[in-house]
Structures are given as structure tokens and as C-alpha cells.
Amino acid sequence: MSTTLTQATATSAPTRNAAHKVTFRRVLRSEWAKTWTLRSTWITLTVGLVLLVLFGLLSAANYAPAGTGHRHGSDASDAVAVALGGTDFAQLALGVLGVLIAAGEYSTGMIRSTLAAVPTRLPMLWSKALTFGAVALVVGSVGAVVSFLGGSGFLHGDAISLGIGSSGVLRSLLGAGVYLGLVGVLGVALGTLLRSIAGGIGALVAVLMLLGLLTDLLPTRWGNDISPYLPGNAGGSVFALHQASNTLSPAGGLAVFAGWVVLALAGAAWRLKKSDA
């Protein structure tokens, strides 16, 4: 009888181990569940969506061509630029949420349980980035399209009015979604790299906004050469309908901004592997 019991135990052990084997799919499902159980996720995503749509609608409702004397005059040359007027605010909301999703586990100590469940560590980072990047992509794309469709009714005249079927419009609107998705991934990377909510948010603001302002302190020639390749400026080129002077093409801007995000992810992966929680 003891021999039979031993054989049964030996047979069932591998089965139990296989049932609980850590796979990327299971880690991905775990991170998806953790993301949506946080109240901050729902609140911040709603704020980001509302800001993107609200500021787009306000920009369209108050639009007047520059030089008309209207107090809301604008230099925007197309309906897409007007509709995406809330992108700067939405990127902060989504980027900050990315930081919270990553750095929040370090502030609460939950990261120890996460790494105990995923001892190889890196699948956890890739899952967080993929999960939240996809969510931010959808929210950004939906917000951009809704803002454009809602604001189009306020814009009249051949110089500003465009339809969603006009050349390049849909590409620009979806480009805004791609940009905001990458901003979300950047937030996750900075939160994992710095392991601090305040530090991650500060770094996010500096990378997306302050670096561009600092180029104004450089000699004009240097500033013109460097400016297009800064994260915020390169990201803005992704969803621009028309290419302005000293800016990258949409494809070039996407490549450069994605490169910055990959660099941040590489730094986060390195620290995750080399440092204890």
C-alpha cells in the first residue's frame, strides 16, 4: 500500500507544478486583473478621456482664426490640431497612471509578493507595459475621434473644416492614440526605474515638457537641431496633420519617441534584474 501511495504522490506532484507554472500569459492576466481592481485606474482614465474630449470641444467652440480680433484666436491651421488641443493634459493623466501602476507596488510593499510569484521578474514588467499601453491606446484613440467628431460642428470654412475621411485625418487621430499609449508605457517604465511615485511623475513631466522649454536657452542653431528629437516634440509629430518646419515626419517622430520609451524600459529592466525590491 505504501508503494502505491508513493507512486500516486510522485505522479500528482508534477501535475500540480504544471498547473501552477508561471507563464507569460498568466502573468499578463494577473497584471490585467490588478490594473482594473485599482480605483485610481478608473478615476484617472476617466479624467484623461474627459480632458482630451473637453478641451478639444472647447477649442473648437471658441476657435477663431488668428488676426480676427477674437479673444480666443488661434494659430491652428486645421481641425485636427483644434480637436487634439487637450492632448497635453491627457498625456499627463495617462502617464501619471502608468507611474502609479508601477511605483505604487513599491510604495505599498506589494512588489515583494509580485516578485515572489514571478521570480524571473521581467515578464512582470513586460506585462504591465503591454497591459496599460493597450488601455491607454484605446482611451486615447477613442477620445481623439470623439473630440474631432464633436468639434467639427463648430468649425466652418474651407480653411479649417475637415471631415474624418479627409486625407490624413484618421491617421492623425489614431496617431494621437498611439502616442498616448506610448506615454502610458513610458510612465510604467519610469515608475519601475525610479520606484517612487513622486520621482516618476517628476521625471515624466521633465521628459515630456521641461526638456522642450530648456532648448529655448540654447543658441538658436543648436536648439533647432536638437528640438525635433526631444521626446515631447517627437511625440507631437506623430499626430500632426501637417509637418511644420524643424519637425519630424509622423513616421520619424514615432520612431524617435518609441526609441525613448524603449530606452526607459531598458533602464527599468536593468534595475529590476539587478536590484532587490
Q: 73-74 and 64-65: which strand pairing?
A: parallel
Structure confidence at residue 66 as a pLDDT band (50, 70, 90) = low
For the stretch 3-31, pLDDT in tens is 444 444 444 444 444 446 889 899 999 99
Q: Are 188 and 266 in contact (CB under 8 A)?
A: no
For the stretch 110-163, pLDDT in tens is 899 888 888 889 999 999 999 999 999 999 999 999 999 998 888 776 557 688
SS3 letters for the chain? CHHHHHHHHHHHHHHHHHHCCCCHHHHHHHHHHHHHHCHHHHHHHHHHHHHHHHHHHHHHHCCEECCCCCCCEECCCCHHHHHCCCHHHHHHHHHHHHHHHHHHHHHHCCHHHHHHHCCCCHHHHHHHHHHHHHHHHHHHHHHHHHHHHHHHHHCCCCCCCCCCCCCCHHHHHHHHHHHHHHHHHHHHHHHHHHCCHHHHHHHHHHHHHHHHHHHHHCCHHHHHHHHHHCHHHHHHHHCCCCCCCCCCCHHHHHHHHHHHHHHHHHHHHHHHHHCCC
The alpha carbon of residue 7 and the mean position of all alpha carbons in its chain are separated, in whole angstroms, by 53
Count of CB atoms situated within 10 Å of the CB of 60:
22
Residue 77: its pLDDT value, please? 65
- List residues bridging with 74 in a β-sheet: 65
Q: Are 187 and 99 in contact (CB under 8 A)?
A: yes
Structure confidence at residue 166 as a pLDDT band (50, 70, 90) = confident
- The gap between the terminal CA atoms of the chain, to the nearest Å, is 47
pTM of the predicted protein model: 0.87
For the stretch 127-139, pLDDT in tens is 999 999 999 999 9
Nearest to 40 by CA among 118, 105, 137, 112: 105
For the stretch 69-102, pLDDT in tens is 444 444 456 889 889 999 999 999 999 999 999 9
User: Is pLDDT of 176 > 80?
Assistant: yes
Structure confidence at residue 35 as a pLDDT band (50, 70, 90) = confident
Angle 215-220-226 from CA coordinates, rounded to 5°: 50
Distance, in Å, from the CA atom of 137 to the CA atom of 91, rounded to the nearest integer, reads: 11
Structure confidence at residue 1 as a pLDDT band (50, 70, 90) = very low
For the stretch 183-231, pLDDT in tens is 999 999 999 999 999 999 999 999 999 988 888 888 888 888 899 999 9
Q: Are 53 and 144 in contact (CB under 8 A)?
A: no
Distance, in Å, from the CA atom of 122 to the CA atom of 109, rounded to the nearest integer, reads: 18
